[in-house]
């Protein structure tokens, strides 16, 4: 049997037919992202829908025995459990807030579990998000870290986007638009109002170049650019992702060690083959 190769639009349409809730996640992620310091971005505040709901800080709501809970305005002296991670921890794909991991754990344990998942985050952003909000809690019983898969995915981006702090969701978009910003600054510094024919001759080519760049952006949305990871060595990519994920998990444990007796790290399925590396590098922080 021959299969017709779908276009991107056809594939997205079919995806929405099979899992209609994913349309809500796409709109939630791409149409309402907030740009923030330190973590770069986070969810929209007070987002409301039949599938996803967030609080005044952008955290997804969790269902518990005491009703809907979230990190914002949570009583500092009340015992709490936390789920940290990226897409999986946030609950991407769940049809309701009540079906996220934190909500299900609340139902199973009869305890409060807060959702610290960041959609599109890598492991470093997950750790930073916890660091910025740990002061809100005095009594943390358990922290579960569901991390690794997003970081592994981002490590498949081209080496042009490699930094000393790893790769991240908007690696291409940030570089593209910030370079445009730098070009604008350079243009402003190097150009003066034309006052003679010589100045005009220098000004017109620069204006033409900026116009061409603008037309190029209109012709192709840079955020629609498709990358391939076939040239990347999978072992090297895996090692980088594991190293970053472990280091971030250790950092979270160090931040919370005065408040928490146990830290549980869950490897994503793609990292199962190197789970021994997690155990060896951080035995005291890993619990099966």
pLDDT single digits (tens) 162-220:
788 888 888 888 887 888 788 777 766 665 555 555 555 555 566 666 666 655 554 55
Determine the pLDDT at residue 275. 44
- Give the whole-angstrom CA distance, residue 179 versus residue 279: 41
| Contact between residue 265 and residue 145 where contact means Cβ atoms under 8 Å apart | yes
End-to-end CA distance of the chain: 44
Please check the confidence at residue 265 and state whether its pLDDT lies above 70: no
Q: Which fold has domain 20-156+233-285?
A: Rossmann fold (3.40.50)
Euclidean distance between CA atoms 14 and 8, whole angstroms:
10
> Which has the closest alpha carbon to 52: 148, 113, 117, 131?
117
Q: What is the pLDDT of residues 20-50, one digit of tens each?
A: 999 999 989 877 789 999 999 999 999 999 9
How many residues would you count in the chain? 288
What is the C-alpha to C-alpha distance for residues 98 and 52, in angstroms, rounded to an integer?
10
**CA–CA distance, 48 with 42 (Å, rounded to integer):** 15
Instruction: Give buried/exposed letters for 149-173 (b at 16+ CB in 10 A, else e).
Output: bbbbbbbbbeeebeeeebbbbbbbe
Would you say residue 67 has pLDDT above 90? yes
Tell me the whole-structure pTM to 2 decimals. 0.79
The two tokens of residue 281 are 């590098």
List beta partners, residue 265. Answer: 145
SS3 (DSSP) at 140:
strand
Domain extent listing, the chain: 20-156+233-285, 170-224
pLDDT of residue 158: 81
pLDDT above 70: percentage of residues in the chain: 74
């Amino acid at each position: 049997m021959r299969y017709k190769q779908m276009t991107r639009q056809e594939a997205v349409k079919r995806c929405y037919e099979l899992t209609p809730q994913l349309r809500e996640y796409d709109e939630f992620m791409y149409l309402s992202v907030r740009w923030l310091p330190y973590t770069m971005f986070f969810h929209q505040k007070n987002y409301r829908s039949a599938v996803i709901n967030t609080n005044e800080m952008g955290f997804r709501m969790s269902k518990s025995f005491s009703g809907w809970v979230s990190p914002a305005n949570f009583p500092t002296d009340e015992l709490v459990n936390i789920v940290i991670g990226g897409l999986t921890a946030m609950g991407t794909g769940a049809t309701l807030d009540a079906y996220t991991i934190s909500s299900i754990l609340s139902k199973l344990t009869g305890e409060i579990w807060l959702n610290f998942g960041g959609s599109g985050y890598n492991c470093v952003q997950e750790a930073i998000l916890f660091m910025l909000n740990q002061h809100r809690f005095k009594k943390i019983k358990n922290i579960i870290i569901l991390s690794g898969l997003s970081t592994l995915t981002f490590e498949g981006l081209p080496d042009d986007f490699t930094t000393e702090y790893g790769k991240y969701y908007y690696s291409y978009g940030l570089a593209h638009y910030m370079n445009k910003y730098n070009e604008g600054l350079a243009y402003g510094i190097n150009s003066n109002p034309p006052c003679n024919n010589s100045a005009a001759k220098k000004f017109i080519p620069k204006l033409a170049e900026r116009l061409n760049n603008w037309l190029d952006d209109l012709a192709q949305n840079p955020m629609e650019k498709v990358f391939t990871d076939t040239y990347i060595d999978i072992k090297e990519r895996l090692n980088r992702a594991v190293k970053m994920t472990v280091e971030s998990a250790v950092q979270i444990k160090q931040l919370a060690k005065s408040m928490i007796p146990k830290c549980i790290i869950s490897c994503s399925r793609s990292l199962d083959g190197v789970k021994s590396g997690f155990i060896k590098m951080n035995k005291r922080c890993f619990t099966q």
